[in-house]
Structure 1
Amino acid sequence: MHFLISFALVISQAAYHREKIDSPTEFTKKGDWEIAQWTSQRTVGFAATELIPSWTADTPPGTWIKVEARIPGSGWYTMARWSYDGPRTTVKGQKDASGRVAVDVLKAARPFTSYRLRVRLARPPGSAVRPRVRTLGAVASAPGRTPAAKGGAAWGKELQVPRKSQLAHADHGGRTWCSPTSTAMVLAYWGKGPGAGELAGYPPGDPDPAVDHAAEHTFDKAYGGAGNWAFNTAYAGRFGLDAYVTRLRSLAEVERFIVRGVPVVTSLAFAKRELGYGSEGHLMVVTGFTADGDVIANDPAVRTVRAVYPRAAFEKAWQRSSTGTAYIIRPFPANR
């Protein structure tokens, strides 16, 4: 059972106070900063065991945000220190009697029915610039077996998502870039992404500078890679899109997005006997379904990119390995 709260908010006009940061783990640099903060309290309608925050924000050069989470009995866990231009990092070694942080997931030691999020916005003293948080939310979940729903709403429908390959970047680390490559595909589908100026610094002959840019701007310094779920949706949000991490209970729920023209990035691990090759952790874009309900995906690890996978095997692997983790990246609703 899963529960998502996504706050549609703008945090930019909060009052700032000066604060001395003695530890470089706070906002990378020691010294004085001007800090503003906002805190939420939310109730979950069931006993959850995991929490994944995500956000979209604008961080002018020199500014930062820090996203924190708290569950009953715990202190504040740092989920991210983030800025678009970087560096971006999670914090290793966060563990106490209440839970632990595994890169982008807060794993509770015991079930919880409420949580708090806090975001701290930082800028240099005397600066007039204001970092802005546009959305902040979290998906709380209780991993467990969910009966597969039959679906059918999107059978025979395929979205024309531009195809991008992580293998084209294998000579400079791209074999592990499934997440930013998937994010870049969805950005291209919506006609969004870095402009010519941001891509100008990549060398001539680069097979796809947009993928390199996505990998660079989703890199998590502590994790040592570009696979941080929330960093990928935050990157997509930088281009004006509504982007968040969630967990879906079945492919039937994915179909609801496909029907509305929204591709879904899925995170899963699988064996060769299930999908034809094996991976301990991979992301791909579900773009539609065959007439029989099998999954059509833009898989960045497949040379042709477009691939079709058996529905039952895909769904089982996705739910088993990541509890149905997905990125939703789409334009904001017109009535927001």
Structure 2
Amino acid sequence: MQNAKNLYILSDTNAFTRGELDNVALTEDGVCLEQVAGRHVLYGCFTSQPVNLPAFDRLVMSWNADTPPGTVVEAQARVRVGEEWSGWQSFGKWSPYIQRASVTGSEDDPVFMWHNVLHIGKGRAVQAQLRIYLYTDDERLTPRVWLLAASVRPVDGESEPPALYSRALHLPAYSQKLRDPSLQNGMSAPVTLASLLNRWGQDVLPEELGQSMLDHGDADIGTRNFSFAAALAGGYGYRAYLAYLDPERLWQCVKQGDSVGVFMRYAASEEQAAATGKAYLPGAFADVEAQMMALRGFETGEEGSFALVNDSLAPTNAEAERAYPLDAFWNAYQGLALVITGRQKGRGEGCPHRRHARLRPLEQVGGYIFQDESGNDLPLPEDFAGTLACAVADGTVHATTAHKSFRFLKPTAQGGLQLPPELFGGKGRITVYAIDPSGCTLVGDVHLPG
């Protein structure tokens, strides 16, 4: 258990023993649904003890869980304002295999959910209590929760910028401008998460992450639901959480080598900064209301001090690596960060998965349809709302799969796909990805005869 000022984390068996177990059982590192006569009960709940925190006006929650298909978890929190406890506020049901939706409340309420952040509309809170529900549709399966966390934004106190030194992490950089057009306007979080996970050796595309963390309940958030981002990283087996971090604690995360995504709001020109009240970020590509950036580190020298980031709004992958003046960076940083501390052994059983399939040629040149290993066709559904893309092996050794050049396609009326004819003049291999929002990606290869 960790309780560092405004961050509270439950992440081992001993920590979970201090809460209330209702139809859930302790595992070696968390909780799962209880078993009766060898079958899991259909639902259960873990509830933490009340937690004392510095006076705050916002709270974010994180959870890491294995959620095999057919299982779901739902994190909730309540807060104490004065002498009164609020009602329980939901952060949405979670699984990469369902149509996830956050819950939005009314700003007229004293405590309400807005963009998946719990807001204290009136007064300030001084305590919080967490709980997480576990559900299954299959008595043979159970979700397993191994991290539950909350972080709050304190309303009192100021922090001084840290005395930092040069420290740079190697994070692959991607531009969201090169990603799936149907997702790219809200792709800063999936692109950043891909960078943070690829750094640890996880082969995953931003589109796979984007489809698996898409918030169907809040169109304004789309793929920027940061709680879902932390949960998705946890689904891959990584220890991940959200936290309101002051500059000193953010520096400590970089110093110890954590992967960090930072939440930013800024203007790209002094005129826009004056008109909107946003911080001015010299050299930025565009004005933004909400963007996540991968933080690569900090640099100090004769020319000044800089924050090293991957800015996904760059037109190319190479241009995404940016060094922004440190003072301007601190002004644009909104105090919220996604922290990933590495992969945990034996976890990650509920993450989105890839299924390798054949591609059967159709009569029209360049037309294909997926098949299973037995030769049965796997047509894409008529209402396919995922990402269909292909990458051509160009003889270049790329640092990650996401660095390859992708073409984004549309399914045909028969549930197949049509590859661009200009791709058939060379030789090599074309890899096709059909990324479904339900957490499965079909992957097939076409070998060019040239």
TM-score category, normalised to shorter length? 0.7 to 0.9
Partners of 1:98 and 1:168 in 2: CA distance: 42
Partners of 1:110 and 1:299 in 2: CA distance: 36
Higher helix share: 1
**Seq. identity, %:** 25
CA RMSD of aligned residues (A): 2.2
Per-residue CA deviations over 1:30-88 (Å, capped at 9, x if unaligned) read: xxx92111111232242122111110111111111111111133111111111122221
| 3-state secondary structure, aligned to 1:92 | coil
**Unmatched 5+ stretches in structure 1:** 17-32, 195-209
Matched ranges for 1:99-248 at <5 A: 99-108=111-120, 109-124=122-137, 127-143=139-155, 146-152=158-164, 155-169=165-179, 171-194=181-204, 210-224=205-219, 225-248=222-245
Matched, 1:316 2:319: no
Partners of 1:142 and 1:134 in 2: CA distance: 26
Contact conserved, 2:92 with 2:102, CA < 8 A, in 1?
Answer: yes
Distance 1:76 1:149, change over 3 A: same
Partners of 1:77 and 1:96 in 2: CA distance: 15
Contact conserved, 2:237 with 2:344, CA < 8 A, in 1?
Answer: no
Distance 1:95 1:116, change over 3 A: farther
Matched ranges for 1:16-27 at <5 A: none
Correspondence for 1:255 = 251
| 3-state secondary structure, aligned to 1:134 | strand
Say which of 266, 270, 282 aligns to 1:270. 266
User: What amino acid is aligned across from residue 129 of structure 1 in structure 2?
Assistant: L
User: What amino acid is aligned across from residue 280 of structure 1 in structure 2?
Assistant: E
Say which of 7, 17, 30 aligns to 2:10. 7
User: What amino acid is aligned across from residue 322 of structure 2 in structure 1?
Assistant: A
Q: Offset at 1:215?
A: 0.4
Matched, 1:57 2:65: yes
Distance 1:307 1:243, change over 3 A: same
Partners of 2:70 and 2:180 in 1: CA distance: 32
Partners of 1:309 and 1:144 in 2: CA distance: 28
TM score, norm. by length of structure 2: 0.62
Partners of 1:248 and 1:310 in 2: CA distance: 19
Which moves more between the two structures, 55-64 or 258-267?
A: 258-267
Per-residue CA deviations over 1:193-212 (Å, capped at 9, x if unaligned) read: 54xxxxxxxxxxxxxxx010
Correspondence for 1:201 = none
Q: Offset at 1:308?
A: 0.7
Distance 1:156 1:95, change over 3 A: closer
Matched, 1:289 2:298: yes
Partners of 1:100 and 1:15 in 2: CA distance: 35
Partners of 1:94 and 1:15 in 2: CA distance: 39
Partners of 1:258 and 1:93 in 2: CA distance: 35
Q: Offset at 1:142?
A: 1.9
Contact conserved, 1:151 with 1:255, CA < 8 A, in 2?
Answer: no
| 3-state secondary structure, aligned to 1:12 | strand
User: What amino acid is aligned across from residue 315 of structure 1 in structure 2?
Assistant: W
Higher strand share: 2
Distance 1:170 1:145, change over 3 A: farther
**Unmatched 5+ stretches in structure 2:** 13-29, 271-279, 346-450
Matched, 1:325 2:336: yes
Contact conserved, 2:77 with 2:89, CA < 8 A, in 1?
Answer: yes
Per-residue CA deviations over 1:106-130 (Å, capped at 9, x if unaligned) read: 1112212211111111112x62101
Q: Which entry has the higher C-alpha Rg, 1 or 2?
A: 2
Contact conserved, 1:41 with 1:114, CA < 8 A, in 2?
Answer: no
Partners of 1:37 and 1:183 in 2: CA distance: 29
Partners of 2:34 and 2:329 in 1: CA distance: 45
Matched, 1:88 2:84: no
Per-residue CA deviations over 1:306-331 (Å, capped at 9, x if unaligned) read: 0010101110121xxx3x10000122
Distance 1:143 1:168, change over 3 A: farther
Correspondence for 1:34 = 42
Correspondence for 1:300 = 312
Partners of 2:210 and 2:156 in 1: CA distance: 32
| 3-state secondary structure, aligned to 1:84 | coil
User: What amino acid is aligned across from residue 210 of structure 2 in structure 1?
Assistant: A
Distance 1:76 1:15, change over 3 A: farther
Q: Offset at 1:332?
A: 5.8
Per-residue CA deviations over 1:232-266 (Å, capped at 9, x if unaligned) read: 0111111111100001111x322222222223110
Contact conserved, 1:2 with 1:142, CA < 8 A, in 2?
Answer: no
| 3-state secondary structure, aligned to 2:192 | helix
Partners of 1:91 and 1:267 in 2: CA distance: 21
User: What amino acid is aligned across from residue 94 of structure 2 in structure 1?
Assistant: W
| 3-state secondary structure, aligned to 1:290 | strand
